[in-house]
Amino acid sequence: MSIVLPDTDATIAAGSRLASLLRAGDLVVLTGGLGAGKTVLTRGIGSALGVRGEVTSPTFVIARVHPSLVGGPELVHVDAYRLGGTAELDDLDLEAELEQAVTVVEWGAGLVEGLTDDRLEVTLTPDPVTEERTMEVRGIGPRWADVDIAAVLTTEDEGGLP
Ligand SMILES: Nc1ncnc2c1ncn2[C@@H]1O[C@H](COP(=O)(O)OP(=O)(O)OP(=O)(O)O)[C@@H](O)[C@H]1O
Ligand SMILES: [Mg+2]
């Protein structure tokens, strides 16, 4: 399914909505060019999960763990842009964290699929003229087979959103 995100706030809100679906063990793979809004979306996920620390795109850190402040899963935020390949991915040892975390990987397509059987694939496509992004979400594997992603993303109920 896909929705249109007119501005940064809409992308944050979409991240919050996605977060309501996420639980420990989930892997989210974010695709989209530089500045597409992957980190902004992750910020929305992190704030709705109630994790500590600001979700940013640090220059030297490839993976950052944000512990939960509310007794929920931690957020492991990975920026794989500078990762050389699967050998360096293995060095991060994401498997160790995966079971108790929501793992979100920017630039993870083609790299992290082997980590689990299931994943949420999110693609952000900017409009060349406006600030609009089109977000496409696809659930892969049995975990997502019966989840109505569209219902969560398009609901009119704003409860709990920033
Ligand atoms: N609709 C929108 N959704 C998200 N971000 C938007 C939107 N419109 C404008 N922006 C701006 O675009 C930028 C997106 O930056 P962000 O760091 O999230 O991109 P990114 O996809 O993580 O890039 P990178 O690949 O470099 O990590 C932000 O400065 C944000 O304010
Ligand atoms: Mg980023």
Ligand 1 contacts CB of residue 37 (under 6 A): yes
pLDDT given for residue 61 in this prediction: 78
Atom of ligand 1 nearest to the CA of 36: 21
Residues in the chain, overall count: 162
Ligand 1 contacts CB of residue 7 (under 6 A): yes
Q: Is the dihedral of CA 94, 113, 89, 28 positive or negative?
A: negative
Ligand 1 centroid vs 47 CA: distance in angstroms? 16
Residue whose CA is closest, atom 18 of ligand 1?
A: 37
> Tokens standing for 133?
């992004």
Ligand 1 centroid vs 146 CA: distance in angstroms? 30
Ligand 1 contacts CB of residue 87 (under 6 A): no
pLDDT given for residue 155 in this prediction: 72
For residue range 104-150, what is the model confidence (pLDDT) as tens digits? Answer: 999 999 999 999 999 999 999 999 999 999 999 999 999 999 999 99
Pocket test for ligand 1, best of 2, 8, 41 (most atoms within 8 A of CB): 8
- In 26-160 the beta strands, taken as DSSP E runs, fall at 27-31, 63-66, 74-79, 101-106, 119-126, 133-140
Sequence ranges of the domains in the chain:
2-154
Ligand 2 centroid vs 37 CA: distance in angstroms? 7
Phi, psi of 132 (to 5 degrees): -60, 140
Residue ranges of the chain whose pLDDT lies below 70: 156-162
pTM assigned to the model: 0.94
Which of these CATH numbers, 3.40.640.10, 3.40.50.970, 1.10.150.120, 3.40.50.300, describes 2-154? 3.40.50.300
Query: How far, in Å, CA of 120 to CA of 145, rounded?
Result: 11
